[in-house]
């Protein structure tokens, strides 16, 4: 059996997205900036695609900027806010310890440029509170950036409450919604979100697509110079087939959100309940306030890369936050921020589901994962000492 359970890394494209992209590749070759009929045709398609996505976020068409990926959207939003802040002498930013590197590395770059960054610690379930944000805001704070939901442990942050605090205090609020967009209900107006990043390939759209929502009135700094595309802020001919496919995938996922959430959450909970019966394991992240598809565990006495590769041999595609899978000496910064000791964080496993997964696949994983964990524990000196 083959099971793809790494949907937080990337997803398979939906049939609708593939069809949309194929059609555009075949016939929609005009440049949206051209004045002739092929150009106008392309431009109209792009306007529709942008409007459709913006509507589903509660935004206006002109507030949505297409980018090449979620990482770019994060970089762009944070850099813009920092620049606006600096103009007013505000050089302090607030974020959390468990953000994606797209945010953390941008923050680190700003620190090297003389900005000051506060990294809010998280609870053992991976939460920050609006109170923590409120307490960290200073006179010179120019941006709060808190992810909508965490990619590794699935915890969903209290975004509306944080948005409200930021709005009241007059501080810009950005959220990296790469894991949440098209999976959770988002309304940028109701949730007081000033800027939001998303990525197309996390919701069955193509790789190489992303978008940044930026509330009207916030001056976005030009990111790429050289043309009038994206309101003159990000020059370069638009990747129209990919943009249209992202929009199609986004609309499809948003329009079936309720049923997808119910289905995927049920699969998730079955998987969590089953894996919980493995001795000496720990569910990472919040038990209920978590992404519908996220299952994250640590198994004591074993190491994540071995677990991952043994599961791969059994046909299961998963992910781990162990040092050996991150390419560094330390396990994932997210797991460490939860307060987990290194030796436990090394034994992490993430299975991320989507609406394409089936109950049979969950049953197969429930059969395979405990076996692989047991096999690796049998050869582990750490487990031997724990049990002898």
Q: Which residues are catalytic?
A: 324
Answer yes or no whether residue 306 interacts with another protein by CB under 8 A: yes
How many residues belong to the site for another protein (CB under 8 A)? Answer: 26
Q: Which listed range, 126-134, 170-178, 220-228, 325-333, lies at the site for another protein (CB under 8 A)? A: 325-333
Identify the helix (H) or strand (E) that includes residue 94. strand 92-96
Q: Which is nearer to another protein, 23 or 280 (CB)?
A: 280
Core vs surface per residue 40-60: b (16+ CB within 10 A) or e: ebbbebbeebbbbbbebbbbb
Answer yes or no whether residue 105 interacts with another protein by CB under 8 A: no
Answer yes or no whether residue 296 interacts with another protein by CB under 8 A: no
Quick check: 209 and 69 in contact, CB under 8 A?
Answer: yes
Q: Give, as ranges, the residues between 108 and 127 that touch another protein (CB under 8 A).
A: none
Choose which of 303, 337, 340, 362 interacts with another protein (CB under 8 A): 303
Distance of CA 277 to the CA centre of its chain: 29
Answer yes or no whether residue 383 interacts with another protein by CB under 8 A: yes
The CA R_g of the chain, rounded to the nearest whole Å, is 22
Q: Which is nearer to another protein, 108 or 379 (CB)?
A: 379
Q: Which is nearer to another protein, 186 or 323 (CB)?
A: 323
Identify the helix (H) or strand (E) that includes residue 368. helix 359-378
Answer yes or no whether residue 381 interacts with another protein by CB under 8 A: yes
Q: Give, as ranges, the residues between 173 and 202 that touch another protein (CB under 8 A).
A: none
Q: Which is nearer to another protein, 269 or 305 (CB)?
A: 305
Burial classification of residue 155, based on how many CB atoms lie within 10 Å of its CB (0-12 exposed, 13-18 middle, 19 or more buried) = buried
Q: Which is nearer to another protein, 87 or 343 (CB)?
A: 343
Parallel, antiparallel or unpaired: strands 210-214 and 64-67: antiparallel
In angstroms, give the least distance from the CB of 44 to another protein.
40
DSSP state of 14: P
Answer yes or no whether residue 341 interacts with another protein by CB under 8 A: yes
Distance of CA 100 to the CA centre of its chain: 8
Q: Please state, in angstroms and rounded to a whole number, the distance separating the CA atoms of residues 349 and 62.
A: 40
Distance of CA 261 to the CA centre of its chain: 16
Q: Which listed range, 68-76, 178-186, 288-296, 380-388, lies at the site for another protein (CB under 8 A)? A: 380-388
Q: Which listed range, 72-80, 332-340, 341-349, 363-371, lies at the site for another protein (CB under 8 A)? A: 341-349
Q: Which listed range, 54-62, 163-171, 235-243, 377-385, lies at the site for another protein (CB under 8 A)? A: 377-385
Answer yes or no whether residue 386 interacts with another protein by CB under 8 A: no
Answer yes or no whether residue 301 interacts with another protein by CB under 8 A: yes
Q: Which is nearer to another protein, 102 or 196 (CB)?
A: 102
Torsion sign (Cα): 67, 71, 75, 77 = positive
Quick check: 176 and 195 in contact, CB under 8 A?
Answer: no
Query: Where in 106-248 does DSSP place strands (E)?
Result: 116-120, 141-145, 172-176, 195-199, 210-214
Torsion sign (Cα): 286, 303, 358, 180 = positive
The torsion defined by the Cα of 141, 143, 144 and 148, in degrees rounded to 10, comes to 180
Answer yes or no whether residue 305 interacts with another protein by CB under 8 A: yes
Q: Which is nearer to another protein, 229 or 306 (CB)?
A: 306
Choose which of 22, 111, 225, 343 interacts with another protein (CB under 8 A): 343
Q: Which residues are at the interface with another protein (CB under 8 A)?
A: 301-306, 309-310, 313, 322-324, 327, 329, 331, 341-343, 346, 378-384
């Amino acid at each position: 059996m083959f099971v793809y359970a790494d949907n937080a890394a990337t997803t398979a494209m939906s049939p609708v997205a593939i069809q949309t992209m194929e059609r555009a590749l075949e016939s929609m070759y005009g440049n949206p900036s051209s004045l002739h009929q092929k150009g106008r045709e392309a431009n109209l398609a792009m306007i529709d695609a942008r409007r459709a996505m913006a509507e589903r976020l509660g935004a206006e068409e002109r507030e949505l900027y297409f980018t090449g990926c979620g990482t770019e959207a994060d970089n762009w939003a944070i850099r813009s806010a920092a620049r606006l802040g600096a103009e007013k002498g505000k050089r302090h930013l607030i974020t959390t310890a468990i953000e994606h590197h797209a945010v953390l590395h941008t923050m680190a770059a700003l620190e090297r440029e003389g900005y000051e960054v506060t990294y809010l610690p998280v609870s053992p379930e991976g939460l920050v509170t609006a109170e923590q944000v409120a307490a960290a805001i200073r006179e010179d704070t120019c941006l709060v950036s808190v992810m909508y939901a965490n990619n590794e442990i699935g915890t969903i942050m209290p975004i509306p409450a944080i948005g409200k605090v930021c709005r009241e205090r007059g501080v810009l609020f950005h959220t990296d919604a790469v894991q949440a967009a098209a999976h959770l209900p988002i309304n940028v107006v109701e949730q007081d979100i000033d800027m939001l990043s998303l990525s197309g390939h996390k919701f069955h759209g193509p790789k190489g697509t992303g978008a940044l929502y930026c509330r009207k009135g916030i001056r976005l700094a030009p990111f790429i110079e050289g043309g009038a595309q994206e309101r003159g802020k990000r020059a370069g001919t638009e990747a129209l087939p990919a943009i249209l496919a992202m929009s199609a995938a986004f609309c499809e996922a948003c329009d079936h959100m309720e049923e997808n959430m119910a289905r995927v959450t049920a699969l998730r909970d079955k998987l969590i309940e089953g894996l919980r019966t493995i001795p000496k394991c720990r569910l990472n992240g919040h038990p209920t306030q978590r992404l519908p598809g996220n299952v994250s565990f640590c198994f004591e006495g074993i190491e994540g890369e071995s677990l991952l590769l043994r599961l791969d041999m059994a046909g299961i595609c998963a992910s781990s936050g162990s040092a050996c899978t991150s390419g560094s000496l330390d396990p994932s910064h997210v797991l460490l921020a939860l307060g987990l000791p290194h030796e436990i964080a090394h034994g992490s496993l993430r299975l991320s589901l989507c609406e394409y997964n089936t109950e049979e696949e969950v049953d197969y994983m429930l059969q395979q994962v405990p076996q692989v964990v047991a096999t690796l524990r049998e050869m582990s000196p750490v487990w031997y000492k724990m049990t002898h």
